[in-house]
Structures are given as C-alpha cells and as structure tokens.
Amino acid sequence: MSLSQCRLDRFISQNLNISRRAVRLMLAKKRVRVDGLIASEIGQIIDKFSVIILDNAILQANIPTYIMLNKPTGVISATIDDKHKTVFDLLNTAQIEGLHIVGRLDLNTSGLVLLTDNSRWSQSLTLPGKKVAKRYIVTLENKLTDQYITAFEQGMYFEFEDITTLPAKLEIISDHVAQVTLVEGRYHQIKRMFGRFRNPVVKLHRSSIGNLHLDENLNPGESRVLTADEVNNISKNTGN
C-alpha cells in the first residue's frame, strides 16, 4: 500500500472521529459510496482521489491535475538537477506540488511529456501490460530502407537485458525521417534499434501517447492542463 492509500474504515473513522465499529454499521446500512458505488468492504483501499460520500455528505472529492508539456531538448525529466533545467522548472510554481512525470524523455529527446498527481491514471499508461502506444518522429543520419520496417516488426534482441523487444511499427516518412510506434519503453530503445543498422539518431521527438497528440499550439517549454475528454480517452481502444 502506498503512502497515498489507506483503508476505507480508517479514513472515515479518522475524519468523523468515530469508531471503526460504527463505520462497519454504516457500510452494512449501505450509507457509504466510493466513486459512485455502494461500499461494502471495510478494508477497501482508497486514495486521495477516491470520491467518498456518506449519505448526501461529501467526505472527499479531490480534483486531480493533468498537464501536457512540450519538452525541449536540453531539459531533463526529473524533479531537480544540478546541471540541467528540469521539466518542473518550466511549470508555474503553483502547479508543481504533488506532480510526477508520466513516461520520461531523455535529455536530447523533445516532445510530449505528461505530469499528474493521480498515480492510478499514470499507472494505466505506463504499466507494461497496458501496452499504450507511444509515437515518435525520428530523424536519422543515413537513408532508410524497407529493411527497417521488417526488423522493427520482428522485434530485436537486447543482450544486456536478455529480452526481445515487442513488435514496433516503423513508417518511412522521407529518406531520413520515420515515425516509430512502441508499446514499451526500454532504455534508449529507439536509438539502440536504429543502432543495429549503424544509423545514428539525429533528432527524436515524441508526438503522441495513446490517443493524445501533442498540442501544435504549444511552443517548446510551454504547457497546458488537459481537458476531461483527453484524460478519459487517452488509452481507449479506438479500433485503429
């Protein structure tokens, strides 16, 4: 159980200053709802964004924060750093408290970075089993061929980790530019995959995560709050 989680009976007991036995009776009488559903288990695990209602009284209804940032190159995906500007340095100070990064980008990679204080949402995007697609525009030093498409589809064996990457989709946009779609995030995966062809990556830019595309109106270093539709639909299966 994380520090932001606790048992339902403990939360109600502490907030109303009543015994857990009294809480058990409330649940038996179906007086408590968690996220719109009648609660029946006293040991149910809740977090700070669980909406908890007793009768018609709201005991908790915190609103999560969701931010889209257009990360420039030269900015590190970290909270603090002694040498480089961080993504948090680009945000308004009022936005920072409690936020964490959803899927980091390395120093020289630009594009879409998400930040939130809702760990349930971030886990739904980053856990390996979720297989949420991430798309990158890659500029290469050498010319691309159809051989790249086949190799990415088949996956590549990484000896250091002793794993074979999941199938990735590569679309050739021009002689030196490709769009790559991954459903995992191995260490420097894209650079290492192109490294098999001895083709250095000149520029790497993340354009989308799931159904969410980087806002074209955001200049490098700028950010905005996500809409409710963007939050709810980012990982939905659109059938594409």
CATH of the domain at 29: 3.10.290.10
Do the Cβ atoms of 176 and 140 come closer than 8 Å?
yes
What the block records as the tokens of 181 is: 């779609």
Cα–Cα nearest to 95, from 55, 119, 121, 68: 68
Do the Cβ atoms of 180 and 218 come closer than 8 Å?
no
Pairing mode, if any, of strands 37-38 and 57-60?
A: unpaired
Q: Is residue 138 part of a domain?
A: yes
Q: Domain ends where: 34, 60, 86?
A: 60
Q: State whether 23 and 95 are in the same domain.
A: no
pLDDT in tens, 42-60: 899 999 899 999 999 999 9
pLDDT band for 95, please (50, 70, 90 cuts): low
Q: State whether 50 and 71 are in the same domain.
A: no
> How many domains does the chain fold into?
2
Q: State whether 53 and 78 are in the same domain.
A: no
Q: Is residue 80 part of a domain?
A: yes
CA dihedral 5, 228, 67, 107 (to 10 degrees): 100
- Give the global pTM: 0.84
- Average pLDDT score over residue span 201-206: 98
Q: State whether 51 and 145 are in the same domain.
A: no
Q: For residue 31, give its domain range.
A: 5-60
Q: Domain ends where: 42, 60, 78?
A: 60
CATH of the domain at 198: 3.30.2350.10
Q: Is residue 229 part of a domain?
A: yes
Q: State whether 55 and 123 are in the same domain.
A: no
Q: Is residue 180 part of a domain?
A: yes
Q: State whether 139 and 179 are in the same domain.
A: yes
Q: Is residue 238 part of a domain?
A: no
Q: State whether 130 and 188 are in the same domain.
A: yes
Q: State whether 56 and 73 are in the same domain.
A: no
pLDDT in tens, 112-158: 999 999 988 999 998 878 899 999 999 999 999 999 999 999 999 99
Q: State whether 27 and 50 are in the same domain.
A: yes
Question: What pLDDT is attached to residue 193?
Answer: 96
Q: Is residue 240 part of a domain?
A: no
**What DSSP character marks residue 4?**
T
Q: Which residues are catalytic?
A: 106
Q: Domain ends where: 60, 86, 102?
A: 60
DSSP string covering 72-137: PTTEESSS--SSSEEGGGGS-HHHHTT-EEES---TTEEEEEEEES-HHHHHHHHSGGG---EEEE
Q: Is residue 239 part of a domain?
A: no
Q: State whether 47 and 92 are in the same domain.
A: no
Question: What pLDDT is attached to residue 1?
Answer: 54
Q: State the sign of the Cα–Cα–Cα–Cα dihedral 150, 152, 157, 158.
A: positive
Q: State whether 18 and 75 are in the same domain.
A: no
Q: State whether 12 and 100 are in the same domain.
A: no
